[in-house]
C-alpha cells in the first residue's frame, strides 16, 4: 500500500503561525508556494536530511518558512539569504542549506548576493520562486514582471523603454563557471509539477554529495497579485510566462563534481574563534583592577571635539585593567560639526548590550548634549560638563555635577585638541575608577605619536587635579 500525504518534514501543527488555523498555510488559495514547500519537504524526508537542513527564509510571502518546515531556520535580511547561507554552510559543512527566495528578494534587492554566491560556487541550494510580481506588498512590478503585465505600479502594463525587460536569472547564473546545476522549471500543469519535483530533488542531492552550487528557478503563480483564480493563473503561467522564461536545464555539471567540491572548509571550532578574537584572555588575566562600580557611560558633544575618542580611550583603559568593556558610537553623516555620542560600558562581568539608555556617568561637551541626555542619568549618577563650552549648567537633583573648563585647560596646556584627555582625568578622579599611575601608563602606550605623550600626560594630570581640588 502506498500512501501519499503530508510529508513529515512539515511540523504536525504550525504552532508558530498566528490565528486559529494551525494546519493550513498562510498562503492565498492557489498560491504556488504551497506546492513547492510540499515538494521540498518530501525531498527532505526521502533524502533523510531534515535533521540537518537549515532553511533560510527571505523577505516576501515565504518569509514564514519557519512556520512549516521541521528543520533549522535562519531569517535573512531582504535579499541576503545567499550571504547568510554562505556563512552557515562554511561554518557547518554538514548542514544542508536551502536559500528559498522570491523574485523581489533574489532578483532585485538581492541581485548582488545571488550572483556572488553563485560565482563563488558555494555548496548550497537556491530555490528561486519566480511569480513575476511582488506578492506580499500588494502586487507591484518585480524585476521579472513581463512586458505588458499589469501590476499595481504598472497599471498600463510594463513598458520596455520605461521599466526595462524581465530579468532571466537562470540564464545569467548559467554563465558563471562555478555554478554546478541551473534549471528552470514551472508548476503549471502536472507534467511541469513532476519535472519541478525532480529538479528540487536533484538540487538537494547535489548538495548532499558536495557537488557545489545548485540553482532551480521555479515559475510560480500569484493568483491574488495577478487577479486570477487558481486554474486561470496556472494556465497563464503555462501559456505566457514560459514564452519569456523558457523551461529547461541551462547548465549541469553535477556528474563532474561528485564529492570533490573544491573548497575544503575547516570545521567550525568555537575555541579557535575565541583564540582568534582574543576572547577569554581578559578572564585569564590573574590581575584585575577592581572597579568601584560598574560604569555605564554616555559621552556626547559635537563631532571633532574628540568625544568618541574619549569614550574609546576609557574603554581601552578598562580592557587593559582586565575588565569587560564595550564602546559603540552614534553619529550623523557629518565628519565635523554634527552631533556625536557614544556609549561605554565597563564591568567586571560580561556585558549583555553595548547600548546605554540610563547612564550613571554622562560627559558632555556642548549645550544640546547636556539638555538631551542629563534627564536620562540615574539617581546617584555623575554628570561631567565642559564649562568652557556649556554655558548653562543647572543642578540636577540626585546627581553629582562636576564642572570643568576642559577646553580652556587644554588650551593652557598647549592645544584645545586635548580637552578630551583633560576630561579623562576628570572622569577617573570623579569615579575613582583607576589609579592615576595606571591611566598614565595606558596613555603612554596608547598615544601613537610619541612626541605628544607629554602633552597628553599634562592634560590628564590637570583633569585629575581640577576634580581633586574641587573635591
Partner 1 sequence: MNDSVQATAPFIEIDAELCKGCKLCIGVCPKGVIDISEKLNGSSYHPAYYLGRDCTGCALCFYACPEPAAIKVVKP
Q: Contact with partner 1 (CB under 8 A): which of 48, 94, 162, 190?
A: 190
404, containing H or E segment: strand 400-404
> What does DSSP assign to residue 285?
-
**Distance, CA of 392 to CA of 390 (rounded, Å):** 6
Q: For residue 24, state whether it binds partner 1 (rule: CB under 8 A).
A: yes
Least spacing, CB of residue 85 vs partner 1, in Å: 24
Least spacing, CB of residue 196 vs partner 1, in Å: 9
**Distance, CA of 184 to CA of 244 (rounded, Å):** 12
> What does DSSP assign to residue 269?
-
Contact yes or no for 180/119 (Cβ under 8 A): no
DSSP letters spanning 369-397: HHHHHGGGSPTT-EEEEETTT-------T
In terms of Cβ atoms closer than 10 Å to its own Cβ (0-12, 13-18, 19+), residue 116 is: middle
Q: For residue 63, state whether it binds partner 1 (rule: CB under 8 A).
A: no
Q: For residue 2, state whether it binds partner 1 (rule: CB under 8 A).
A: yes
**Which range in 46-54, 222-230, 275-283, 368-376 contacts partner 1 by CB under 8 A?**
222-230
Residues 322-351 that bind partner 1 (CB under 8 A): none
**Distance, CA of 345 to CA of 328 (rounded, Å):** 9
Radius of gyration over alpha carbons of the chain, in Å?
30
Q: For residue 269, state whether it binds partner 1 (rule: CB under 8 A).
A: no
Say which residue the cell 524581465 belongs to.
Answer: 166
Site string for partner 1, 230-259 (x = CB under 8 A): xx--x-------------------------
Q: For residue 34, state whether it binds partner 1 (rule: CB under 8 A).
A: yes
Q: For residue 21, state whether it binds partner 1 (rule: CB under 8 A).
A: yes
Nearer to partner 1, 38 or 89 (CB): 38
SS3 83: helix
Contact yes or no for 399/377 (Cβ under 8 A): yes
> What does DSSP assign to residue 107?
I
**Which range in 35-43, 130-138, 395-403, 419-427 contacts partner 1 by CB under 8 A?**
35-43
Q: For residue 38, state whether it binds partner 1 (rule: CB under 8 A).
A: yes
Region at 372 (left for phi over 0; alpha for psi -120 to 50; beta for the rest): alpha
Nearer to partner 1, 11 or 215 (CB): 11
Strands in 134-268 per DSSP E: 181-186, 214-219, 248-252
Least spacing, CB of residue 31 vs partner 1, in Å: 6
Helix axes 111-119, 81-91, angle to 10 degrees: 40
Least spacing, CB of residue 34 vs partner 1, in Å: 3
Residues in contact with partner 1, total (CB under 8 A)? 36
Nearer to partner 1, 230 or 329 (CB): 230
Least spacing, CB of residue 24 vs partner 1, in Å: 5
Q: Contact with partner 1 (CB under 8 A): which of 29, 155, 177, 270?
A: 29
**Distance, CA of 238 to CA of 31 (rounded, Å):** 15
Nearer to partner 1, 24 or 353 (CB): 24
Q: For residue 32, state whether it binds partner 1 (rule: CB under 8 A).
A: yes
Q: Contact with partner 1 (CB under 8 A): which of 17, 80, 90, 197?
A: 197
Least spacing, CB of residue 227 vs partner 1, in Å: 15
The length of the chain, given as a count of residues: 471
Q: Residues in the site for partner 1, rule: CB under 8 A?
A: 1-7, 10, 21, 23-25, 27-35, 37-39, 41, 68, 189-190, 193-194, 197, 223, 229-231, 234
Amino acid at each position: 500500500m502506498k500512501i501519499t500525504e503530508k510529508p513529515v518534514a512539515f511540523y504536525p501543527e504550525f504552532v508558530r503561525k498566528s490565528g486559529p488555523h494551525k494546519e493550513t498555510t498562510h498562503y492565498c488559495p492557489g498560491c504556488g508556494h504551497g506546492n513547492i514547500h510540499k515538494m521540498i519537504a518530501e525531498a527532505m524526508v526521502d533524502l533523510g536530511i531534515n535533521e540537518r537542513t537549515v532553511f533560510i527564509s527571505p523577505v516576501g510571502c515565504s518569509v514564514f518558512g519557519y512556520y512549516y518546515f521541521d528543520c533549522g531556520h535562519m531569517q535573512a535580511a531582504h535579499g541576503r539569504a545567499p550571504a547568510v547561507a554562505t556563512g552557515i554552510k562554511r561554518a557547518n559543512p554538514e548542514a544542508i542549506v536551502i536559500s528559498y527566495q522570491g523574485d523581489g528578494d533574489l532578483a532585485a534587492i538581492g541581485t548582488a548576493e545571488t550572483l556572488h554566491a553563485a560565482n563563488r560556487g558555494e555548496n548550497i541550494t537556491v530555490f528561486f520562486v519566480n511569480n513575476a510580481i511582488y506578492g506580499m506588498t500588494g502586487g507591484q512590478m518585480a524585476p521579472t514582471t513581463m512586458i505588458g503585465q499589469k501590476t499595481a505600479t504598472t497599471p498600463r502594463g510594463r513598458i520596455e523603454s520605461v521599466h526595462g525587460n524581465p530579468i532571466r536569472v537562470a540564464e545569467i547564473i548559467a554563465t558563471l563557471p562555478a555554478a554546478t546545476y541551473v534549471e528552470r522549471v514551472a508548476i503549471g500543469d502536472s507534467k511541469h509539477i513532476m519535472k519541478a519535483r525532480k529538479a528540487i530533488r536533484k538540487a538537494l542531492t547535489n548538495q548532499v554529495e558536495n557537488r557545489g552550487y545548485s540553482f532551480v528557478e521555479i515559475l510560480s503563480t500569484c493568483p491574488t497579485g495577478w487577479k486570477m483564480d487558481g486554474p486561470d493563473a496556472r494556465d497563464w503561467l503555462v501559456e505566457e510566462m514560459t514564452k519569456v522564461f523558457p523551461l529547461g536545464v541551462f547548465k549541469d555539471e553535477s556528474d563532474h563534481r561528485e564529492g570533490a567540491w573544491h573548497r575544503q572548509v575547516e570545521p567550525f571550532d568555537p575555541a579557535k574563534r575565541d583564540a582568534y578574537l582574543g576572547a577569554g584572555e581578559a578572564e585569564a588575566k590573574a590581575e584585575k583592577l577592581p572597579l568601584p562600580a560598574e560604569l555605564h557611560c554616555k559621552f556626547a558633544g559635537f563631532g571633532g571635539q574628540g568625544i568618541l575618542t574619549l569614550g574609546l580611550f576609557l574603554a581601552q583603559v578598562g580592557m587593559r585593567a582586565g575588565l569587560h568593556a564595550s564602546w559603540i558610537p552614534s553619529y550623523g553623516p557629518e565628519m565635523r560639526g554634527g552631533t556625536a555620542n557614544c556609549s561605554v560600558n565597563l564591568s567586571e562581568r560580561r556585558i549583555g548590550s553595548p547600548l546605554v539608555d540610563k547612564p550613571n556617568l554622562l560627559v558632555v561637551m556642548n549645550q544640546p548634549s547636556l539638555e538631551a541626555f542629563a534627564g536620562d542619568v540615574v539617581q546617584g549618577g555623575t554628570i561631567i560638563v565642559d564649562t568652557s563650552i556649556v554655558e548653562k549648567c543647572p543642578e540636577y537633583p540626585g546627581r553629582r555635577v562636576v564642572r570643568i573648563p576642559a577646553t580652556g585647560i587644554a588650551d593652557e596646556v598647549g592645544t584645545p585638541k586635548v580637552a578630551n584627555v583633560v576630561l579623562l582625568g576628570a572622569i577617573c578622579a570623579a569615579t575613582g575608577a583607576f589609579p592615576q599611575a595606571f591611566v598614565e601608563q595606558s596613555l603612554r602606550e596608547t598615544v601613537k605619536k610619541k612626541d605628544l605623550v607629554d602633552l597628553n600626560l599634562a592634560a590628564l594630570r590637570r583633569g585629575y587635579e581640577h576634580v581633586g581640588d574641587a573635591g
